[in-house]
């Protein structure tokens, strides 16, 4: 018996960007729903952070989300079990007030899980655990300990797992809490990873440059065989173009699909300024949502980009590297944790 699992959809992200809503919809219309229909699955598990902001929701973004996602699931008769993630909850110390319960009351096919509980899903027990906070910590651990299920699904912050490529979580709950379970599935960290027991499933699509060229999508899970199947999202929002005219012709922009994308041009060598100007001019006619040109490559030897995975404009990496370079007796990891918190708060503020 198969179910579908998705997590961290973040409807309303990037200040309710219409470009990102269009990007989301392309995935749901062309990838998610065709795969769901072909599978015959009638149950969907949503592991938190359905909405992006903790304190409010843009009406237009909500309307788009309902039309592209919730309405279509209801029309298909899909039963949804949805847990509350940290972005879904108004307060940081309790899940009592949360956006799914307030915004999705009209849907009879959605069951919101704001407290830990063990449910029978198509004849198989699953222990569901929403965001763990001060208010529910003790009770949640009791529910997990007393559950007879061997599968746990939640929205966890677990120490030692990759939050996004290049950054491992230095805080969170210990993985030892889950030792009684055979398999654990979680939302929260957007990078897809696992250690053979605990599976971070990753979010469905790219949302920031931290997600560049990192597989995204959703999963099918067979409750009987315990087989987990990944369905990858083929669409990319963030694209990087390398410009180099030193010993070769620059990349032909006509061979690239850059429309409706956020593009970063990394200039390795620029010897012909006229040719570069023509290149940039053409780039601006291709319908990109945003274009950034990076020309200062002094940190790389001989002007060559050695590591294709390096994100030249990763704010968190800049902050982390700066903190590492400062001579101080202060706990640098604690400072990094504090700065990551400030950064997360900052990128979720709406520009007025």
Q: Vertex 8, ends 5 and 12: CA angle to 5°?
A: 130
CA distance 136 to 92: 11
Averaged pLDDT, 282-292: 95
pLDDT digits (tens, 9 = 90+) for 326-347: 777 788 888 887 787 677 666 5
pLDDT, position 302: 45
Buried b (16+ CB within 10 A) or exposed e, 123-132: ebebbbbbbb
Q: Which of 75, 65, 31, 4 is nearest to 215 (CA)?
A: 31
Token pair belonging to 122: 């198509």
Q: What average pLDDT is seen over the chain? A: 91
In this predicted model, which residue has the larger pLDDT, 342 or 260?
260
What string of H, E and C letters represents the secondary structure of 79-119? EEEEECCHHHECCCCCCCCEHHHHHCCCCCCEEEECCCEEE
Please report which residue ranges of the chain form alpha helices under DSSP H. Answer: 13-16, 18-27, 33-39, 59-65, 71-75, 99-103, 137-146, 273-283, 315-325, 332-347
Q: State the sign of the Cα–Cα–Cα–Cα dihedral 135, 182, 150, 179.
A: negative
In this predicted model, which residue has the larger pLDDT, 323 or 196?
196
Residue 306 predicted with pLDDT over 90? no
Q: Are 41 and 82 in contact (CB under 8 A)?
A: no
CA distance 48 to 129: 10
Band of the pLDDT at 45, cuts 50, 70, 90?
very high
Averaged pLDDT, 258-284: 95
pLDDT, position 154: 98
Please report which residue ranges of 258-314 form alpha helices under DSSP H. Answer: 273-283
pLDDT digits (tens, 9 = 90+) for 139-190: 999 999 999 999 999 999 999 999 988 889 989 999 999 999 999 999 999 9
Report pTM.
0.84
pLDDT, position 88: 98
Q: Are 10 and 23 in contact (CB under 8 A)?
A: no
Residue 300 predicted with pLDDT over 70? no
pLDDT digits (tens, 9 = 90+) for 94-145: 999 999 999 999 999 999 999 999 999 999 999 999 999 999 999 999 999 9
Token pair belonging to 300: 């790389």
pLDDT, position 336: 80
Sketch the domain layout of the chain as residue ranges. Answer: 2-232, 238-347
Residue 25 predicted with pLDDT over 90? yes
Q: Are 53 and 11 in contact (CB under 8 A)?
A: no
Band of the pLDDT at 282, cuts 50, 70, 90?
very high
Domain 2-232: CATH architecture, name and number where available: 4-Layer Sandwich (3.60)
CA distance 322 to 328: 12
CA distance 200 to 189: 7
């Amino acid at each position: 018996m198969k179910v579908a699992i998705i997590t961290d959809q973040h409807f309303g992200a990037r200040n309710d960007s219409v470009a990102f809503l269009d990007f989301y919809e392309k995935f749901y219309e062309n990838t998610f729903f065709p795969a769901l229909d072909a599978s015959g699955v009638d149950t969907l598990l949503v592991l938190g952070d359905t909405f992006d902001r903790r304190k409010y929701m843009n009406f237009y973004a909500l309307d788009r989300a309902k039309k592209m996602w919730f309405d279509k699931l209801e029309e298909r008769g899909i039963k949804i079990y949805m847990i509350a993630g940290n972005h879904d909850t108004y307060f940081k110390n309790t899940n009592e007030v949360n956006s799914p319960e307030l915004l999705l009351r009209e849907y009879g096919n959605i069951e919101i899980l704001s407290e830990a509980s063990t449910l029978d899903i198509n004849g198989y027990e699953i222990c569901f655990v929403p965001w763990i906070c001060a208010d529910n910590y003790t009770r949640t651990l009791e529910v997990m300990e007393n559950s007879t299920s061997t599968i746990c699904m939640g929205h966890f912050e677990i120490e030692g797992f990759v939050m996004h490529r290049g950054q491992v979580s230095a805080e969170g709950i210990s993985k030892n809490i889950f030792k009684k379970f055979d398999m654990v599935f979680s939302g929260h960290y957007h990078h897809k990873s696992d250690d053979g027991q605990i599976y971070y499933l990753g979010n469905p699509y790219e949302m920031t440059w931290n997600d560049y060229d990192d597989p995204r999508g959703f999963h099918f899970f067979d409750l009987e065989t315990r087989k987990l199947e990944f369905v990858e999202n083929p669409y990319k929002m963030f694209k990087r173009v390398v410009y180099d005219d030193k010993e070769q012709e620059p990349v032909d922009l006509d061979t690239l699909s850059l429309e409706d994308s956020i593009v970063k041009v990394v200039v390795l060598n620029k010897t012909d300024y006229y040719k570069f100007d023509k290149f940039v001019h053409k780039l601006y006619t291709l319908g990109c949502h945003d274009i950034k040109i990076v020309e200062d490559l002094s940190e790389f030897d001989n002007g060559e980009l050695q590591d294709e995975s390096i994100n030249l404009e990763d704010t968190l990496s800049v902050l982390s590297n700066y903190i590492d370079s400062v001579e101080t007796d202060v706990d640098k990891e604690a400072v990094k944790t504090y700065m990551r918190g400030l950064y997360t708060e900052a990128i979720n503020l709406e520009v007025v």
